[in-house]
Amino acid sequence: MSNQPQLLPIKLLPQQISHARAIIFVVLLALPTLMMYLGTGDANDMMEFFNLIPVREAYRDGHWLMPTLNNVARLEKPPLPVWLPAVMARVLGRDSLWVLRFPSILAGILTAVAVYGMGCLAFSKKQEDTHNVLPDRCLAMLAGILVPTLLIFNRQSRLASYDIFATAFLTCFLTCFVLFLHRICTKQRRIGSLLTCFLVFLGGFFLGLSVLSKGPVPAATVVIPVGLWLVVEGWRGRKDAESRLPMGKVLVGSLGFALVALATFMPWLIVIGATVPGAWEIWTSELVQFSTAKMATAPGGGVSADLRDPIYYYAQFFFWVVPLTPTFVAGLVLPFVKSQGEPQPSAEERSYRRLFWMIIVVGLIMLSVPSEKKSRYALQLMPVAVLLSVAVWQEFLRLRADRKLEPAAKVMLAAQALFFIVPGMAGLVASVWIGVRGGLPEALESVTGAIVAIGPLVAGVLSAGLLAAGVALWHYQFRRRFAAAAVCLAISAWLFIVLLEGAYRADPANHTSPARLPTEAAMRLVGDHPVYSLANGDIRPWLPTLFYANRLIDQRSLGELVAIANEKRDVPMYWMAADQILEKHKNGEYREFPLAKFSAARDAFERATGRHGEILATWVDEGRRTNLILFAPPQR
């Protein structure tokens, strides 16, 4: 078998790719996967509602410094994810769904570009001395392309969520920090040089923005592992002069990052803490809830069963990095196995692999300790997971053609190819079957609906492309042409996420909120009259109703509502309140739990005002039966 370098089958790439071209390529591939169905349909994600309503109230009602949710201070979350979409709405003069979601798209693209920047350092060695030739910076570009194809990352990048902003700014901070270390270690730059100081300022600024996006927890899951990695590398450097860190410069730079970060997020905390009553108490209760699941709103500060997740919850991370799961599993063991490549990884490359591994593992352990757990809480670890996965491909590129693949490597390569071959084949068969027979068996009704919504022809073409790319990936992997295989991996992952997200968004169940039409119909009955609700967490309207009502629902105490009704005796008064909780069982039937507070408040109001309530409309909103009630003026 020849030991000569195996060139790519197509000569479309130059020997060296400029940063500008690489970034443009990353952006052009990321945009279609993130912008599909961006502004179509209805918002129906609960966490997105928590942000969309404050964004609208900032844009429409001027609630900028202290974002509000239905005119009540939204102290539970930081303000930056409200400010950015609201600024875009102000610039464009509209607050449609695609406008409010577009900053999340930009955050996702910023993350991919930052991953490319980090990859340029982690995979910066030219590939001419390997046995599978790739142009310089192609591995970094591969990492940037793969980030938007991760299932959870892609979805969060298309929602007006808090987590994607924190992830983008944390990834930018990490890139600046790695560049800072690169300058003071490999180039022996002074800590006070202009560019080094700028990197410290920019990285600290990004770190502060991440805290302003989601609070301190996501930042801690990255910063603390980085600190542990510095300790480990400092200890290793005592015996290995090649990997020794200038710890004095590192400590001074780290202090600079921290001070700039504090200067970025502390002013808002200080101002709000001093001017908004109860701000510090709410922030403390949020931290307690995240750590222990004890909710301040529960009777006696009780524990919410919904927030108590098992310690092994984040084992699901392997599913969240689909479709790179097999490569990611290999990446987790990569820092601990002897390299079979030629040349061997440099000390710098091995150090980066340990950094990525430590951020993922220590970050997941930190997230596993608190009681409250969600998939999006681990979003900031996914860009690093991609970098560790691409390091696996760097190893394959360095394998000599005459060296046999180990059994574990064969299993990993086969599994990675099958991740694309099986869905591609299934999608192609299902599309052809639906095109010929009109539908799949009843058990696969949801699949039929998704393919019909996309169009059997389009779904079939995408599935055929995914199948072909997966087969090509298998072929090139086991023919030991890993440069071509890396290109096929990028194509396969891109087609996989386009097909998957297209099917998800085309399914009507994921496309339309059941609260929108009845809420809008109810608001048409109201006209220009104000709508009131009791300031009570049990019976006031819930998030979808608040959003689709498209206006503030004035929250007042019962005494205030009585006073308004008696003052404006000739004016009809409209209430919006929930009177029942509906719990759906596995058999599809609902159990009704009446809310006693609703009946008591309505009876007390009718006695105090002489008005009689008439229910004009009723709808179900997140398991709550909500009513629009007209209290007509009392008869004289």
Is a pLDDT exceeding 60 seen at residue 472?
yes
Residue 124's pLDDT band, with cuts at 50, 70 and 90, is: low
Which two tokens mark 251? 């400590």
Tell me: pLDDT of 398 over 90. Answer: no
**Can you spell out the DSSP letters for 348-364?**
HHHHHHHHHHHHHHHHH
Judged by DSSP in three states, 139 sits in: helix
Q: What is residue 239's predicted lDDT score, i.e. its pLDDT?
A: 64
Give the Cα separation of 393 and 387 in Å (integer).
Answer: 10
Taking only the tens place, the pLDDT of each residue in 352-371 is: 999 999 999 999 999 999 88
Whether this model's pTM surpasses 0.85: yes
pLDDT value, residue 384: 98
Spans of all domains in the chain:
19-276+309-397, 277-308, 407-510, 516-631
CB of 104 closer than 8 Å to CB of 156: yes
Ramachandran angles phi, psi of 315, nearest 5°: -65, -20
Half-sphere exposure (CA, 13 Å, Cβ side) for 68?
Answer: 18
Percent of the chain past pLDDT 90, that is, above it, reads: 63
The residue ranking higher by pLDDT, 246 or 429, is: 429
β 72-73/68-69 pair status: antiparallel
Q: What is the pLDDT of residue 508?
A: 60
Q: Which amino acid is at 172?
A: C
Helix (H/G/I), strand (E/B), else coil: 7: coil
Q: Which residue has the higher pLDDT, 566 or 508?
A: 566
Q: Can you state the percent helix, strand and coil of the chain, rounding each to 5?
A: 65, 10, 30
- In angstroms, rounded to a whole number, what is the distance separating the alpha carbons of residues 321 and 324? 6
Per mean pLDDT, which range of 6-15, 374-383, 474-483 is the poorest?
6-15
Q: Is the pLDDT of residue 1 over 60?
A: no
The amino acid present at 486, given as its one-letter code, is A
Residue 6 DSSP label: B
Which run of H or E residues covers position 337?
none
Q: What is the pLDDT of residue 113?
A: 97
Contact yes or no for 611/631 (Cβ under 8 A)? yes
Q: Would you call 157 helix, strand, or coil by DSSP?
A: coil
- Rounded CA-CA distance 293/308 in Å is 6
d(CA 373, CA 320): 14
With residue 531 as reference, give the H or E element that holds it: strand 531-534
Sign of the C-alpha dihedral, residues 4, 10, 15, 17? negative
Out of 12-21, 28-37, 154-163, least confident range: 12-21
pLDDT tens-digit map of 312-353: 999 999 999 999 999 999 999 999 998 888 888 888 899 999
Task: For residue 116, name the pLDDT band (cuts at 50, 70, 90).
Answer: very high
Closest CA to 88 of 39, 31, 149, 46: 39
Residues with Cβ < 8 Å from 565, sequence gap 6 or more?
A: 573, 605, 608, 609, 611, 631
Lowest mean per-residue pLDDT among 150-164, 253-267, 367-381, 446-460? 446-460
Q: Are 166 and 111 contacting, i.e. CB atoms less than 8 angstroms apart?
A: no
Calculate mean pLDDT across residues 267-276: 95
Q: Cα(620)–Cα(515) distance, rounded to whole angstroms?
A: 7
Largest CA distance in the chain: 103
Residue 505 has pLDDT above 90, yes or no: no
Report the C-alpha gap between 76 and 60 in whole angstroms.
Answer: 21
pLDDT-derived band at 184 (thresholds 50, 70, 90) equals confident
**Chain mean pLDDT for the chain:** 88
For the segment 300-311, what is each residue's pLDDT rounded down to a tens digit? 344 455 557 789
Q: Which of the residue ranges 56-65, 187-196, 301-310, 444-453 would you say has the lowest mean pLDDT?
A: 301-310
Q: List, for residues 37-64, the tens digit of each pLDDT value.
A: 676 667 888 889 999 999 999 999 999 9
The least confident of 49-53, 394-398, 400-404, 586-590 is 586-590
| Terminal-to-terminal C-alpha distance of the chain | 103
Cβ(3)–Cβ(131) below 8 Å: yes
Q: To which residue do tokens 């980066």 refer?
A: 352
pLDDT computed for residue 130 by the predictor: 53
Which residue would you say has higher pLDDT here, 11 or 422?
A: 422
Two tokens at 192? 């006070």
Q: Are 634 and 569 in contact (CB under 8 A)?
A: yes
Percent of all residues in the chain with a pLDDT value above 70, rounded to a whole number: 88
Per-residue pLDDT band at 601 (split at 50, 70, 90) = very high
The more confidently predicted of residues 246 and 617 is 617
Is pLDDT above 90 for 214? yes
Phi, psi of 577 (to 5 degrees): -155, 155
For the cut 90, the answer to whether the pLDDT of residue 626 exceeds it is yes
Q: How far apart (Å, rounded) are the C-alpha atoms in residues 532 and 527?
A: 14
